[in-house]
Amino acid sequence: MIKMFQALMPKEERFFDLFNRHAQTLALGARALRELLDGGPGLEAACARVIQHENEADDVAREVLQAVRRTFITPFDRSDIKGLTASLDDAIDQMQKTAKTIALFEVKTFEPKMREMADLIIDAADRTVAGVALLSKMRENSASLNAFAEAIINLEEKGDTLHDEGLKALFLANQDQAMNFIIGREIYSHLEKVLDRFEDVANRVSGILIEHL
């Protein structure tokens, strides 16, 4: 009865615009992170852009939470809205942590596998933009949403493989330079966690889909 009543009531559709804006900050952050890992003279500017986009994501997240408090009928459960927002925010937060680690240790050059992982992050971010845009019409887009979640999981698994291969190569190249290995391992760990956070977004979307279809 409650679900029937909710279906008949007008809903606040602004949430979908906010989700889309939030996802876009991830795509922008991912590109800035990839540019950061190219090193060179643009490194500091790219680092600053990652942080800027994380701040923009925080602004959107606050708007979502304010809208949740003020809106009587939401498109889907409030807990799901908050959970999706948190998972999107966690992804770009982890990008920011990666950038801050690089700045802290003044790293200027990066391993090839790190850049490959950053390419996967861009792919995951772009797919997330497309996937989140499908949420406004879940029923019509259910197959595409399931495909989105599966694609993100595959990217995360590829990221795990790159992480392990990169870490092994880093160890073999730095057996007499422990600090280089420790710093490189930290960067690899953050990159892996970025992809993990995108998987969290995909799992959250899958959960919303299951619950509301």
Say if residue 2's pLDDT is above 50.
no
Contact 77, 211 (CB under 8 A): yes
- Return d(Cα 153, Cα 137) in angstroms, integer: 22
Q: Residue 115 carries which DSSP code? A: H
For residue 138, CA distances in Å to 181, 205, 208 come to 45, 10, 9
pTM of the predicted model as reported, rounded to 2 decimal places: 0.93
- The reported pLDDT for the residue numbered 106 is 95
Say if residue 153's pLDDT is above 50.
yes
Q: What is the per-residue pLDDT across 97-127, written as a single tens digit (0 to 9) for each?
A: 999 999 999 999 999 999 999 999 999 999 9
Say if residue 134's pLDDT is above 90.
yes
Q: What is the per-residue pLDDT across 9-64, written as a single tens digit (0 to 9) for each?
A: 335 568 999 999 999 999 999 999 999 999 999 999 999 999 999 999 999 999 99
71 compared with 79, residue with greater pLDDT: 79
Q: Residue 141 carries which DSSP code? A: T
Total H helices, total E strands in the chain: 7, 0
